[in-house]
């Protein structure tokens, strides 16, 4: 239909955009994975064919216009600290070859951005005003990691405009992925842990990064390790920046670099009025 329209309307002003649209569709078709059972485009049409965004506003559907406005609203009023961390992390991830694939880059950046927002909110939330944050403050017993997993999943689910998000997904690297982000031709994992002995980044790397990187074997070589930090915090929970680190890992037998963003979610907290230096 697009080819027919171009044949009949080649002199119209939007013909150039239509040609770009045609090229976008061809690129999208060339990246299609055969054997996919869903047989449907994931996300909006604007995601699959970027040239659609150049069409006049009256040519867009109401949903496409909503997506544009939603994206602008979600990314305009963002703290300078979060922006700095996002830029530093994405620059570091350039060492990972699969991160350079445009579709992988775009999808993972979305997951990374909202994961950072999740940390920012949980560091600011009070238990009194936010019932979901109560598990982050001191209690008689430590919360298990599935509480963080459920909290993270529920936060991430509505912001996933593309792909699917699942929990406890089986048959990933011969095991079970905690939070699984599934797209048509690639996937990501967020591995969720809790730690109450040593939450230094060196200790977390030694203890948990082997498992986190294993989930990247057959797909995009980037992922997230989300750790519930249960150490006592008489001196506070630390800065936003101090709870985030990018690990680029490889081995002699597996030299392909893997990128894992480690995010510590401070728990076992006390209120700011009880903090001592």
Domain chopping of the chain, boundaries: 2-73, 80-274
> For residue 109, with 0-12 CB atoms within 10 Å meaning exposed, 13-18 middle and 19 or more buried, which class applies?
middle
pLDDT for the residue 92: 97
Spatial neighbors of 110 by CB under 8 A, at least 6 apart, are: 159, 161, 162
Task: Indicate whether 39 pLDDT > 50.
Answer: no
- Give the integer Cα–Cα distance in Å for 5 and 55: 15
- Give the integer Cα–Cα distance in Å for 203 and 86: 23
CA torsion sign for 33, 36, 41, 42 is negative
- Give the integer Cα–Cα distance in Å for 110 and 108: 5
The residue-averaged pLDDT of 203-209 equals 94
pLDDT for the residue 49: 61
Task: Indicate whether 44 pLDDT > 60.
Answer: no
* 107 alpha carbon, distance to own chain's centre: 7
């Amino acid at each position: 239909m697009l080819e027919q329209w171009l044949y009949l309307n080649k002199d119209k002003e939007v013909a150039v955009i239509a040609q770009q649209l045609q090229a976008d569709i061809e690129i999208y078709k060339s990246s299609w994975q055969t054997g996919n059972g869903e047989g449907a485009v994931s996300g909006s049409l604007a995601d699959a064919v970027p040239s659609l965004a150049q069409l006049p506003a009256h040519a867009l559907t109401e949903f496409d216009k909503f997506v544009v406005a939603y994206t602008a609203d979600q990314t305009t009023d963002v703290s300078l600290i979060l922006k700095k961390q996002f830029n530093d992390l994405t620059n570091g991830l350039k060492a990972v070859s699969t991160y350079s694939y445009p579709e992988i880059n775009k999808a993972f950046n979305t997951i990374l951005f909202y994961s950072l927002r999740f940390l920012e909110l949980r560091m600011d939330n009070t238990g009194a005003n936010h019932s979901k944050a109560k598990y982050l403050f001191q209690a008689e017993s430590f919360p298990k990691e599935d509480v963080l997993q459920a909290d993270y999943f529920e936060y991430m689910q509505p912001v996933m405009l593309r792909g699917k998000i699942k929990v406890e997904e089986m048959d990933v690297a011969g095991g079970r992925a905690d939070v699984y982000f599934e797209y048509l031709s690639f996937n990501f994992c967020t591995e969720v842990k809790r730690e109450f002995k040593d939450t230094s980044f060196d200790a977390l790397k030694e203890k948990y990064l082997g498992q986190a990187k294993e989930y990247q074997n057959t797909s995009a070589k980037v992922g997230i390790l989300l750790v519930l930090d249960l150490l006592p915090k008489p001196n506070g929970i630390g800065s936003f920046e101090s709870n985030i680190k990018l690990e680029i890992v490889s081995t002699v037998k597996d030299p392909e670099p893997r990128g894992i963003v480690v995010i510590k979610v401070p728990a076992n907290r006390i209120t700011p009025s009880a903090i001592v230096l």
